[in-house]
Structure 1
Amino acid sequence: MKTMSAAFEEGHANRYISFADIMHEQFMSITTRMMFRRGAGAHNQDFIKTMIEITSADFFLLEDFFPLLKLLDLSGKIKKLKMTAEKYSDIMESIIDNRLKEKTNSKSYNEEDFLDVLLAMSDFPRDQLKYLLLDIIIAGTDTSSETIVWAMTELLRHPNIMERLQIELDDVIGKERLVEEADLQKLEYLQAVVKETLRLHPGVVLGIPHFSKEATKVAGYDIPANTRVILNLYAIGRDHKVWENPLKFDPSRFFNSPINVKGQHFEVLPFSSGRRICPGMNLALVSVAYNLAQLVHACSISLPEGLTHLDVDVEEKFGLTVGKQNPLNLLITRRLASDVYRKAGLNVIGQ
């Protein structure tokens, strides 16, 4: 909600915003509130800066494939990653220590978040706790925010799809209130848009690496023992043998289709599958659909002056997630009547 207010404030002043930045901030805030209750990390500049360094780091190191090069660190990436990890560790030590003091000093301490649950497990090593939280923050921030950026990119590239989604939202929700979580299951076209976005633009290119303990055979291929096996999730969703016109953004392909994105159908695996499927899948699907619905329903979204849908590109950059190479700068203003936002507790300038 605060993010939407900030976007409206910039839009009222006729200033364009970096859509990726505002979505990253939104999901960083959501995730850290779940982890730390009051968003202890979300508004800490050192924390945000460190998390940006981590999520933008290049984790594909030549040294992983040629271990003898690790001591040389020719690229300097290993040293940089170690320094960033130390900064994160120091910040988390401070957050954990402060939380323990709060619990000790407050007799009426009755709020509980994920950090409290972990701290209650006395056999949980401190370092393990810190890096479990890091995994969750990374997984819950960039993947979801980038998915919404890609969804908005495709909607802006295809005005007819944007219009159809907006019509569904207006028909189901109306224009007298904002979208609520309970509405999501009634929004069939919205769900199709989310699925198609995840097919064409999965949050991560490669699945979690697996390691074969013994020699085996998979789909006719011999896999030696002690082999690292990585699934190309990106290629699976774009396989021309499975998908008709696979590079076309077409949500209607999921109408009357039994295929979903929850790991039960191998035609599309944005969250992987099996015992190592993404544990945050259900949360991600709800948060992406909800935030996208809010944006399309409650906001008028414009490209910079002089640009049309033909100018929106899909160039990619690769890291922990697959993001847009070029920024998506947008003008976001309110689309509904003033009272709708006021009733939802939004303080929107210009109303």
Structure 2
Amino acid sequence: MKSSFTSMMLSHPIFYFFFMLFGIILLYIKILKPNDSTKKQEKHRFPPGPKPWPIVGNIPEMLANKPTFRWIQNIMNDLNTEIACIRLGNIHVIPVTSPSIAREILMKQDAIFASRPLNWSSEHVSLGYLTIGPSPFGQQWKKMKRVITNELASPLRLQWLHDKRAEEADNLVQYMYNQCNNGGALVDIRLAGKHYGGNLIRRLLFNKRYFGNGREDGGPGAEEVEHVEALLSVLNYLFAFSISDYVPLMREFDLDGQKEAMKKAINTLRKYHDPIIEERIRQWKNGIRTHQEDWLDVLISLKDANNNPFLTLDEIKAQIMEIMMATIDNPYNNIEWVLAEMLNQPKLLQKATEELDDVVGKERLVQESNIPKLNYIKACIREGFRLHPIVDFNIPHVSMEDTILSNYFIPKGSHILIRRQGIGQNPKVWKDPLKFKPERHLKNDGSNLTLIDPNLETFTFGTGKRSCPGITIGSTMTIMLFARLVHGFTWTTPPNEHIIDLCECVGDTSKAKPLVALGKPRLAAEVYHKLDQKKNI
């Protein structure tokens, strides 16, 4: 009965709107009696934006203009502004497309903008804000950041895990070779990239590539496909402009269906993760396991000053899930876009291949130790992040006090959205912003290029208190994925397809059509055969 009622509401916007309005009025009735803070705000100038309705703000327009991020793009384009203010309920949402304003947020006023929104999706996925990513500023966030930075992502720990990463890079090449070693074959680059990332992070966390048996050719089995799709589904609904994010009384009704979909995806992930985590804890407790092999062992082995476990079971489960989500989407999305762009400009692909041959040769596969010298490869990847970020917005920052930003008043509790694509395609910053030109990132002195842009003119890993602690592992995964594909295989457009379609999805910034390219092995057969020999040792 409840389900049929919810379906009726979803199919009749008038019920949806009035029910929403009733909840907002109950929650924000105090607006009828403005307090001192409200009067103070009225004296200041907000960034430009659409005129809000009383009480509900711009929620009606948000509901009528899906996807929300494109609606926000259009608002900023129409207003010709690099900072805007859109009121959703009583929350001021501040999108930004200027590197200089982003630097002011993440450097000059980092301490003010270091918190996160409180909403159902982030609370549920983090088991009550136990992790680093979506948690508000506070002691729990500080605790988990120390764990990630000092215990998981330190240089020594990453070196400790080098062999596991190398094995997954080898598995990628072997999988691709098995597909196209008989004169070439059409290869789904998106699928290959997704499961390289999935295989790699499972190895680092659980010391296993597959939950099931996998496939003989090195590809994913049904369990791994389900696992990766569940990770991507959770990411799709996290901070996804759900109405309940701005009208808390609407949480119980799941009017946009996001809550049910997210719960289903999280339950799928826990089906795979929780038994492994619980069994591993039992092994350590009973002395069956005594030495660390992966990140899960590290998290379980941490002790406090009294030699008790430093992390609870829920903290471990929640942080494992977050690490999985944080590493799965960026590498494959970037490489798919970069290779698609370069197939349409074959000279760029040729230049990348020549760099790999000069640095690595053709008698062995590219290794992580070669990365410092692969500046053109890294320039291609940086250009992909500039032009085609996985999502337009970073995770929202929340202002912890009233402040002035770019001469505009930003009230306490505002949600700050730094638009990755808006910054990367800002015509005031970049010449020919819609053209794929890796050369724009190369340094004149030939020194080691990285994927980090300290000027925030491309926004990938962020900076400040909320910067990504996994910059090194994320960069390495992405570079190795691209380098192995380009070094190990030649790529051309499919027969009868002279140009790759570069259209985006309507609902996000991913490529509308998965990239399918014709791949052929380009190295000596012995290079690939050595992978089989290593596997059998």
Question: Is TM (by shorter chain) over 0.5?
Answer: yes
Structure of greater Rg: 2
Secondary structure of residue in 2 paired with 1:16? strand
Structure 2 CA distance, aligned partners of 1:51 and 1:296?
Answer: 24
Structure 2 CA distance, aligned partners of 1:18 and 1:314?
Answer: 17
Show the 5 A alignment for 1:71-86.
71-86=252-267
Q: Which of residues 209, 226, 232 is equivalent to 1:49?
A: 226
1:297 aligns with 2:461: no
Task: Report deviation, 1:74.
Answer: 1.9
Q: Which residues of structure 1 form unaligned runs of 5+?
A: none
Higher mean alpha-carbon deviation, 165-174 vs 241-250, is at: 165-174
In structure 2, relative to structure 1, the CA distance for the partners of 1:92 and 1:347 (3 Å cut) is closer
Task: Report deviation, 1:280.
Answer: 1.3
Q: Which of residues 56, 62, 67 is equivalent to 2:243?
A: 62
Q: Which of residues 123, 126, 129 is equivalent to 2:313?
A: 126
Aligned equivalent of 1:313: 502
Q: Which of residues 197, 200, 209 is equivalent to 1:30?
A: 200
CA deviation string 1:266-299 (max 9, x = no partner) = 2112111111111111112222112211111110
Structure 1 CA distance, aligned partners of 2:518 and 2:311?
Answer: 46
Higher mean alpha-carbon deviation, 106-115 vs 71-80, is at: 106-115
Q: Which of residues 160, 183, 191 is equivalent to 1:21?
A: 191
CA deviation string 1:107-144 (max 9, x = no partner) = 57434311111112314222222121111111111111
Task: Report deviation, 1:185.
Answer: 1.3
Task: Report deviation, 1:158.
Answer: 1.2
Structure 2 CA distance, aligned partners of 1:87 and 1:104?
Answer: 27
Q: Which of residues 318, 323, 334 is equivalent to 1:147?
A: 334
Q: Which of residues 259, 273, 280 is equivalent to 1:99?
A: 280
Asked if structure 1 preserves the Cα contact closer than 8 Å seen for 2:503 and 2:511, the reply is: yes
Show the 5 A alignment for 1:138-217.
138-217=325-404
1:9 aligns with 2:178: yes
Higher mean alpha-carbon deviation, 24-33 vs 226-235, is at: 226-235
Higher mean alpha-carbon deviation, 144-153 vs 122-131, is at: 122-131
Structure 2 CA distance, aligned partners of 1:180 and 1:142?
Answer: 22
In structure 2, relative to structure 1, the CA distance for the partners of 1:5 and 1:344 (3 Å cut) is closer
Aligned-residue identity in percent: 28
Show the 5 A alignment for 1:109-120.
109-120=290-301
CA deviation string 1:45-89 (max 9, x = no partner) = 446414413413542123223333322212222122123223323
Structure 2 CA distance, aligned partners of 1:91 and 1:180?
Answer: 31
Aligned equivalent of 2:513: 326
Structure 1 CA distance, aligned partners of 2:289 and 2:310?
Answer: 25
Secondary structure of residue in 2 paired with 1:71? helix
Structure 2 CA distance, aligned partners of 1:38 and 1:248?
Answer: 40
Structure 1 CA distance, aligned partners of 2:364 and 2:518?
Answer: 22
In structure 2, relative to structure 1, the CA distance for the partners of 1:344 and 1:46 (3 Å cut) is closer
Aligned equivalent of 2:464: 274
Asked if structure 2 preserves the Cα contact closer than 8 Å seen for 1:214 and 1:224, the reply is: yes
Aligned equivalent of 2:455: 265
Asked if structure 1 preserves the Cα contact closer than 8 Å seen for 2:505 and 2:512, the reply is: yes
Asked if structure 2 preserves the Cα contact closer than 8 Å seen for 1:157 and 1:312, the reply is: no
Asked if structure 1 preserves the Cα contact closer than 8 Å seen for 2:185 and 2:520, the reply is: no
* TM-score under structure 1 length normalisation: 0.89
Structure 2 CA distance, aligned partners of 1:286 and 1:83?
Answer: 32
Structure 2 CA distance, aligned partners of 1:123 and 1:186?
Answer: 40
Q: Which residues of structure 2 form unaligned runs of 5+?
A: 1-169, 215-220, 303-308
Aligned equivalent of 2:81: none
Task: Report deviation, 1:324.
Answer: 1.4
- What is the aligned length? 345
Asked if structure 1 preserves the Cα contact closer than 8 Å seen for 2:397 and 2:417, the reply is: yes
Aligned equivalent of 2:128: none
Structure 2 CA distance, aligned partners of 1:295 and 1:153?
Answer: 13
RMSD of Structure 2 on Structure 1 (CA): 2.5
Structure 2 CA distance, aligned partners of 1:251 and 1:68?
Answer: 48
Asked if structure 2 preserves the Cα contact closer than 8 Å seen for 1:300 and 1:333, the reply is: yes
Structure 2 CA distance, aligned partners of 1:27 and 1:66?
Answer: 36
In structure 2, relative to structure 1, the CA distance for the partners of 1:19 and 1:281 (3 Å cut) is same
Higher mean alpha-carbon deviation, 144-153 vs 232-241, is at: 144-153
Secondary structure of residue in 2 paired with 1:17? strand
Asked if structure 1 preserves the Cα contact closer than 8 Å seen for 2:210 and 2:224, the reply is: no
- Greater relative contact order (CA < 8 Å, ≥ 6 in sequence): 1
Structure 2 CA distance, aligned partners of 1:261 and 1:11?
Answer: 31
